[in-house]
Amino acid sequence: MLLVVDVGNTNTVIGVYDKDRLAVSWRITTKKDRTIDEHGIIFRNLFGLSSEVKFEMVDSMIISSVVPPVVPPLSEMARKFFKVTPLIVDSEIKTGIKILYDNPREVGADRIVNAVAAFNKYGGPTIVIDFGTATTFCSISKDAEYRGGIIVPGIVTALEALFQKAAKLPIVELKKPVSVLGKNTASSMQSGIIFGYAGLVDGLVSRIEEELGETSFVVATGGLAGVISSESKKIKEVYPLMTLVGLKIIYEMNS
């Protein structure tokens, strides 16, 4: 079985593939200072929750990470507990995607993996929007070229900044308000976040398409993709586990 691990700034998403089937997936909090043994205990406990997959069934592993300090202990954990040497996604790994960034090393591993999964499923031109700690936009051409992207503060990041910087603004539930014009502080903030980010998404996608002179298929992923997609005119589909799919594809390309 293949263990796939995507380390994000806020959450780490883990999946186990039984051949072509994603048998199980989990989401845990990312912590930079976990030791090798702490990682091992967490993974053993997660496998203990499943009746489909067992710890000893894992015979291969791939990791993508945007948090560099997590990679060494996670890799050592794989060798110590699973007896496998993990494949690490970086700018040198074979992906089938040509990176057109000025410096390809600057492109986050998660963005590369998403580009691979999106192109594999939809072809191009495609725009991938990942709603995470940051909200990222990535453009992939019909010739499998990663043409560039956009990075803006993530939804929760923006909401937390409002709470921390404005003394009278509370933390609110991320849900669609009944109207655009709020009648209280909570609904006003919800409108700003939900409708504001939907407008941001549609506006930036329109600018990308105008600059490229073509229409793209727009797909969203990440924990909050569903919250915004229903209010966006540009997002055509939500692909929740895109990164795990991309990791499997990259592993197969390089194994």
Q: One fold for both 2-88 and 98-104+124-240?
A: yes
What is the DSSP-derived secondary structure letter of residue 91?
T
pLDDT digits (tens, 9 = 90+) for 208-240: 999 999 999 999 998 889 889 999 999 999 998
Say which amino acid occupies 13.
Answer: V
The second-level CATH assignment, the architecture, of 98-104+124-240 is 2-Layer Sandwich (3.30)
Burial of 13 (0-12, 13-18, 19+ CB in 10 A): buried
Residue 115 has pLDDT above 70, yes or no: yes
State which H helix or E strand residue 252 sits in. helix 242-254
- Is 202 a known ligand-binding residue? no
If pLDDT is split at 50, 70 and 90, which confidence band does 167 have? low
The answer to whether residues 97 and 114 touch, using CB atoms and an 8 Å cutoff, is no
Q: Give the model confidence (pLDDT) of 16-49 as tens digits.
A: 999 999 999 999 999 999 999 999 999 999 999 8
Catalytic residue of the set 20, 90, 110, 202: 110
On whether 185 is known to bind a ligand per the annotation, the reply is: yes
What phi and psi, each to the nearest 5 degrees, are found at residue 253?
-65, -30
Residue 220 phi/psi, 5-degree rounding, is: -115, 150
**Global pTM value:** 0.89
**Within 13 Å of residue 14, how many CA atoms lie on the same side as its CB?**
18
Q: How far is it, in rounded angstroms, from Cα 67 to Cα 228?
A: 26
Residue-wise pLDDT for 147-158, tens only, equals 999 999 988 888
Q: Tokens in use for 15?
A: 């999946």
Q: Which fold has domain 2-88?
A: Nucleotidyltransferase; domain 5 (3.30.420)
Are 246 and 157 contacting, i.e. CB atoms less than 8 angstroms apart?
no
Domain ranges of the chain: 2-88, 98-104+124-240
Q: Is 110 a catalytic residue?
A: yes
**Residue 85 annotated as part of some ligand binding site:** no
Known binder of ligand: residue 6? yes
79 assigned to a ligand binding site: no
